[in-house]
Structures are given as C-alpha cells and as structure tokens.
Structure 1
C-alpha cells in the first residue's frame, strides 16, 4: 500500500515540507485552476510536478505525483448537453498528456452539481478538536427554507419538516448564510464555486433525469475515455457519491456495491475502476467495506481511508468525520482485505499490485485549529490518521504479503 497525501498546490497551507515530514511518499493533486472541460496541457502538468518535487529550501522532496484527484467531468458531459462532445475530446487529450508525464492513476466522480456535501465544516468535538459533519435536519432546512427547491417537501416526512421549521425560525441571518455556504462549498480548491442561483439552475436541468439516465451517461463517458486510458496504460477510478444517498432530488448512481458492480460490468476494462472511499461509502450502514474490497478488489485502483460515525442506522442520516480507527467502518478488516488483494495481484504479476491510499480527511487538532487549511484536510489530523493506518498495515503486512 503506497502512502500518498492530498495536496492542493502552492497555496495549500499544508506545505510539501510538511507532507515529506509526515512520511508520505507520493502526492495526490490536480490542476484546480484549469477550467473544467479544457485540456490539461503538458506545460501545466510539468509545472505542478516541479512544484511538488522541491521543498522550501530548494532540496529535492523525493515526492512524485502518483494520483490525479480529480480530472473533473463537466456538468455538460453528465447531462450530455452543450459542449459535452468537445469536453470528451479534451478529456482524452488530458489523459494522453498525463500518460506522457508518467502519471497513471486518475480519480474522478460523476456526482451531479456538487462534489460532496456537508452542513458543518468545523463541528466541535468533545475533545475540543473539530471535524466536518453532515446533519440531516440542517441539510433539509437548507433545502426547504434557504434554497426553497420546488418539490423538496416531498422528500422529507412531517416530523422532519416540523423540526426544520423550528430550526430555521431560530437561525440568525449569519447562520443561514453560513449553512448555505457550507452546503455549496463543494470540492476544496475546485475551479467551480456555485452560488445558490447556480445550484437552482443546475437542479432545474437535472429535474427530469432518472438514475438510469445518469448511469447511461456515465457508461457513455467511460465507453469514450476508457479505451484511450487502456491503450495508454492508465487506471481511471470513480469516487463514490458523498454522501451515498439521494440529495436535492438528484440521482445517485455510485453509492452501493451493486451500483459499482453494474458500471464495472457495463465497461469491462481494467482501465475502468474504483476509488474505494471508506468514508463516503461507510456513511451508509448497508455498505460492507471489507466485503466490497474482497469482491470488487481487482478493479480498485485507489483508496481513500477515512471513517465516519453515524447518528442512526437509517440509509439517509446524520454523520460526522470520526478518527480513522474510531468510526463505524472496521478499518482493520478493510486493510486486511486490501493486503489480501495486493497479495493476489503480486502473485498474478500485476505491475499495479501496490494500491495507493491516502489518509482522507481528518479532525482538526492542535495547531490545525489555527492553521485553517482546506476544510477536512488538516496537517496534524491527517498525520495522526496516517500514523494509525501505517501501524495497522505494519501489523498485518507480514501475514498477508509474506
């Protein structure tokens, strides 16, 4: 298991020096400043590689760009509208440029409108640290009373609607603005930051789209780009929905094992694979993460190892970002399943037998509380998580790899 670290570029408040000191050996990053739907040029790719290759004193970092996260799929491609065919051509060209630079693993997602959704980006824990949280009542309050989405009331039962009305009535204008900002924050560092009007406009365009139609569009996308990726020796890996249940009336197509299996079967190419995110998938109680790794492991190209603690066993419910070994997912069992898959790959002679992972998210603790880095991406919280994961891997590694 190769230890990597998410880095958002030169403006990231967690520096390359800090990444190196944390013990990671690879970098997960993207060209966040390049508009979605346009080509990632060789020059821009080389610039990012040069930026992560040096520490602040000019010495070599020894770090390499191992995983792209993400090469974004445009809303036009997801909807098959507007410039979607031109965006497909640009995507294929970007893949060719990444392959020429020696980068083989590309993570993407196919979530409509928002890349991930939380209602609180700094929820206070009993320890005094903070973490990200999704609160269903807060989210429904946003949907019903701030966004005022047509038909939203049909998605919530009467008891929840009553709770939302009381919560909204008690909120200050500043609290309403904060909640709205948190919900539409999306992917940290991304090129697109949506306003409420933007969200409404996109929702209107998705209003008539079913889960089957969106899945068809994903299969069409993969049918166009996977052959290019396979010819280049690249591995595409789709990140799950976050959270893994329907929101804002939008279809969700990568929330369960059955949904992943269906897409993998539809485009049965080694270049079309999975980003197994234990935090996203683990927020849903009917997802068996170690079992998913056992059954779908041959197509898992990248791992996000993080944990969540659910407030309820309902499919759709509140949760917060727990410590890496402290949530509802059995992280030891999951890592054991990963190591077993690596052993199978190594025996089969697969060059990609070592699966890259990163300590995804983390709680803000100690100096993180004043550093104010990207929400969910603290320095010390992730360092703690990486150390815990590294300990599990070390304890299990000899038994599984021999």
Structure 2
C-alpha cells in the first residue's frame, strides 16, 4: 500500500519537505483555485506536477482529490453538454500528464460537514466533531427549513431549542463557519441567508432525481475513463445521511452497489473512506471493503466514535468504532490478489485522514482536519498495522 498525503498546494501551511519527513511518497492534491466547470489545462496540471518534482523528495502526484462536479450536474439543470465536455477534457489533460486516479464525491451543495473544528480531547488535543443537536438547531432555528422537524426526534428537537436559546451570535456564527469548513479552495461558502437561498435551488429534487442525475454523470464520464485508462473512485457521503433536506446517495453498501450497477466497469470505483462509512451505525466497514474490493482504487484510513443520538467525532486511528486491523487486512488481501494477476495497479494508494490537532498543530492554522502531527501519528499507526499484517501475509479472511 502506498503511503500518501493530502496536500492543498502552494497555499498549504504544510510543505512538501515536511510531508517527505513523514515518509509519504504519494501526493494527493487538486487544483482548488480553478472554479467548478472550467477545464483544467494541461499547463496548470504540469505546473502542479513540477512543484512536486522540484521538491526533490521522490514524491509523485498519485491521486486527484478532487475534480469537482458542478452543482448544475447534480441538479440536472439545463443544457449540461458543455460541462460534461469540460470535465472530460480535464480528465484527458490529467491522463496526458500521467495522473490517472480521480477521487470525487456526489454530495449536493455541501461537502463533509462538522459542527466543531476544535473539539477538546482529554489529552489536550482537539478533533473534528459532528453534533446532532447543533445541526438540528441550525436546520430548525437558523435556516428554519420547512419539514426539518421530520428529520429529528422530539428529544433532539428539545435540546436543539435549548441550545439555540442559550447561544450567542458568536456561537451561531462559529457553527455555520464550522459547517462551511469542509469546502476547500474555490468551493462556495455561505452564511445563513446565502445557504437558505442556495438550498432553494434543490427544491423538488429528491433521492430519485439525484440518483438519475448521478447515473447520467456516470454514463458521460466512465466511458471516457475507460478510453483514457483512468480509475474513477467515488468518496462516500460524510456524514452518511441526508442533511439540510439534501439527499445523499452514497452512504451504505446498497448505495455503492447501485453506483457500480450504473456502469459495470472496474474504472467506476470506490474511495474506501473508513470514517465516512463508519459514521453510519449500519455499516460494517471491513465487510464493505471485502464485498467491493475489486473496485477500491484509493483508501482514506481514519476512525470515528459514534454517540447514540447520531453525533460522532474523529477518533484516533486505532481507537474508534471501526476495526482498522480487519479493514487493512481486507485491503492487503485485495492487493495480494491483484499482484497474483500481475496487474499494474496492484498497489493501493491510501492516506491518513482527519487527524487530531496535537502538540505544535494547535494554533498552527492548518486546514481543519488536516494537521501535520495528528496525521503523522495516524500514518505511523497504520504503517505499523500494515507492516505487521504484511509479515508472512497469506490471507486474513
């Protein structure tokens, strides 16, 4: 398995030389400065590759995360031929520069969502956290979304009202800012009035419509991926549930099976994100990894700890609810199978994800969820698991 690291490009506070000291050789990055729907030129892609090469640490750009999908495609809004053509051209330009794995998501409007970016931990560090009560307060009392009551229990609604009544303007602003923090680079960010307005663009668009629009996207893109020799891997929804009334359609094993059924090709694959899938109590993440092993092209190894009310927080990589040893075993078995077949793509890229802020991470201003030391701890822990399981590796079924 290839150790990789998400890097936000030239504006990232964590540098390529620092990443090299972690031991990661794969660089997972994106051209966040390019707006949705515009072509990624071959020149821009080559320039990013050159930055990585000029650091002279043997690192390579191995995964794009992500090539964003325009919201009009998700809504099925108007003539989309130009957007699809631009997307395919960006893919062709990436392939021409030797970057052939694309991680993407199909979450409407909002990317990964948390309510706190610096949740205090007993050891003095901080983590990301999703608080169900605060999300309910945002939906019910700040956005005042019609029908939101149906999404929350009476108990959560009561607690949400109490939180809202006791909150200050600063508390409410911190909440919306935390929710928006999952959107990197050129992604739009919203205050409460702007988010209200943006949500109206999805009026009348339910799960059936989102699925239809997603199926259309795959029909436009996967044949191009096959022609270009590219792997296309969907990132599961985070959290894996509807939010703000927006349907999320990649949240469980049945959803993943549906995605693969739309285009039955190995190029139509999965980013196995242990944390995103692990936040759904119904998901057995190692079992999902084994079921869909042939289609996994990239992995995010992280862990979460869930509460009974639907809240969850980022756990240390080996301390959450998901059995990470069993998960890594499933991925190593798939690597072994591919190696036996002599496949060129046998080695799976993976990266540590959403680490705790620890030691000098605190106050360093890195992108939320992407500190240096916290992720390096996760990388080291998972490296140890991989090394131990790889020793005399036969099968871990």
Does the CA contact (< 8 Å) of 2:101 and 2:233 recur in 1? yes
| Structure 2 residue aligned with 1:19 | 19
Aligned match for 1:252, one of 243, 248, 254: 248
Classify 1:172/1:221 alpha carbon distance in 2 versus 1 (closer, same or farther; 3 Å). Answer: same
Does the CA contact (< 8 Å) of 2:34 and 2:186 recur in 1? no
May I ask how many residue pairs the two structures share in their alignment? 395
| Structure 2 residue aligned with 1:366 | 359
Structure 1 residue 219 displacement after superposition: 1.2
Runs ≥4 residues deviating over 6 A: none
Matches within 5 A, 1:158-307: 158-307=154-303
List runs of 5+ in structure 2 lacking aligned partners.
Answer: none
Distance in 1 of aligned mates of 2:394 and 2:203: 49
Matches within 5 A, 1:1-400: 1-55=1-55, 60-82=56-78, 84-312=80-308, 317-400=310-393
Distance in 2 of aligned mates of 1:400 and 1:235: 27
Summarize deviations over 1:226-269 as a string: whole Å, max 9, x none.
11111110000000000001111111110001110111012101
SS at match of 2:11: coil
SS at match of 1:110: coil
Does the CA contact (< 8 Å) of 1:117 and 1:134 recur in 2? yes
List runs of 5+ in structure 1 lacking aligned partners.
Answer: none
Distance in 1 of aligned mates of 2:298 and 2:197: 33
Summarize deviations over 1:129-157 as a string: whole Å, max 9, x none.
00100000011111111122122223222
Summarize deviations over 1:306-363 as a string: whole Å, max 9, x none.
0000012x6xx00000001110000000000000011111112221111100001100
SS at match of 1:371: coil
Does the CA contact (< 8 Å) of 2:274 and 2:300 recur in 1? yes
TM-score by length of 1: 0.96
SS at match of 1:107: strand
Does the CA contact (< 8 Å) of 1:25 and 1:64 recur in 2? yes
